[in-house]
Structure 1
């Protein structure tokens, strides 16, 4: 079946952007915001419509997910829902009311469920403060069906998005496989909706973020004395 033309201005911008990615950019290839502007001259918020495709299962990575990308580059990794088809990518499925927003923020504890940051908190190593937004997460349920659920994420995690659906059946199976001590520990974390990390875990997390020269210094401190 032939695809509609991405240049057809009778289609909505998001549908045109999806077709442009498929037919011009191609899966696995890189594009920039300037490429989007050049493809859709005079179209306001064309880049935002590209981002909206993530809500329909499209995987579009930034340098947060793919370290090989530049700051202004994105990679079209995988096509999601064919939003140009009748009944797909409709506005009702992407609209979040203020009531829904308040409800989701309240049940999620008013912090980012991906990284734990709270609104107004400064990201480590920057002067940028976090803002909370509502993201859509595609969840594959134990019965095999897929649905879109709402979750609180900060502006950084929201932009990154998630390419693959969360497989709830796999997670539940992993929970079932836990030993009694691990189940007790997980139950306590869930009840508190937080986890206190040990000193060594915090050191490990900091170590992972260091450049190699600094990582080498840590390894030298840990190395047993000669002789």
Structure 2
């Protein structure tokens, strides 16, 4: 089947964006927000139409998923369903009904299951208030199959983990390899649905979050204290 032109205005914007990626950008290559908007000057929400392609298996990375990218860049990683072909751009509604949404939030203790932050808090070092949402997480099952399960995450973690799949058999295998005492400790954390970190562990987290120059100063301070 011949591939239509991305400039064919009879096509929907999402289809044209997909064709633009294929014809102009090419898999594995980067493009900027400015280039995208220049190609579609008549479309105010072209960024959103581009993101819609992810629902059809298209992989488009930002600097959240690809550390080599700048904030204004994206990478066209992999082509998904050819949405420009007849019948390929249709999809069932994936909206989560309000009662189910409330049930998931309650089941997950109203916290982001990835980072532990709760609604009403602000991200550390920022005035940005936390907003929780429901993420669809791909989970590898014990039989090797895959299933999509729902989990509560904050908006930051939800965006950053979009392409992440959970390997449940690997997690279960690690549990089985724990000693009896370690299993008991883990069971306690699971029962309480939380874990208290020691001051040293929290300090390690603080250190890991520091920029390189500040990490050097911490190392120097430890060396100086050790020598004294």
TM > 0.5:
yes
Task: Verify: 1:154 aligned to 2:158, yes or no.
Answer: no
Does the CA contact (< 8 Å) of 1:60 and 1:163 recur in 2? no
User: What is the CA-CA distance between 1:12 and the residue it aligns to?
Assistant: 4.8
Going from structure 1 to structure 2, the CA distance change for 1:55 and 1:199 (only over 3 Å counts) comes to: farther
Does the CA contact (< 8 Å) of 1:58 and 1:163 recur in 2? no
User: What is the CA-CA distance between 1:125 and the residue it aligns to?
Assistant: 1.0
Match of 1:207 in 2: 207
Task: Determine the C-alpha separation between the residues in 1 that align with 2:23 and 2:96.
Answer: 30
Q: Return the TM-score normalized by structure 2.
A: 0.82
Match of 2:81 in 1: 82
Match of 1:145 in 2: 145
Going from structure 1 to structure 2, the CA distance change for 1:52 and 1:174 (only over 3 Å counts) comes to: farther
Going from structure 1 to structure 2, the CA distance change for 1:14 and 1:214 (only over 3 Å counts) comes to: same
User: What is the CA-CA distance between 1:122 and the residue it aligns to?
Assistant: 0.9
Match of 2:219 in 1: 219
**More moved, 21-30 vs 148-157:** 21-30
**More moved, 202-211 vs 84-93:** 84-93
Summarize the alignment of residues 121-200 of structure 1 with structure 2, pairs less than 5 Å apart. Answer: 121-200=121-200
Going from structure 1 to structure 2, the CA distance change for 1:83 and 1:131 (only over 3 Å counts) comes to: farther
Q: Return the TM-score normalized by structure 1.
A: 0.82
Does the CA contact (< 8 Å) of 1:63 and 1:71 recur in 2? yes
Going from structure 1 to structure 2, the CA distance change for 1:202 and 1:136 (only over 3 Å counts) comes to: same
User: What is the CA-CA distance between 1:201 and the residue it aligns to?
Assistant: 1.0
Does the CA contact (< 8 Å) of 2:57 and 2:81 recur in 1? no
Does the CA contact (< 8 Å) of 1:61 and 1:75 recur in 2? yes
Larger radius of gyration: 2
* Paired residues, number: 225
Does the CA contact (< 8 Å) of 1:121 and 1:129 recur in 2? yes
Does the CA contact (< 8 Å) of 1:54 and 1:162 recur in 2? no
**SS of residue paired to 1:112:** coil
User: What is the CA-CA distance between 1:34 and the residue it aligns to?
Assistant: 2.8
Does the CA contact (< 8 Å) of 1:18 and 1:53 recur in 2? yes
Going from structure 1 to structure 2, the CA distance change for 1:70 and 1:225 (only over 3 Å counts) comes to: same
Per-residue CA deviations over 1:174-200 (Å, capped at 9, x if unaligned) read: 222222222122211111111111111
Does the CA contact (< 8 Å) of 1:55 and 1:137 recur in 2? no
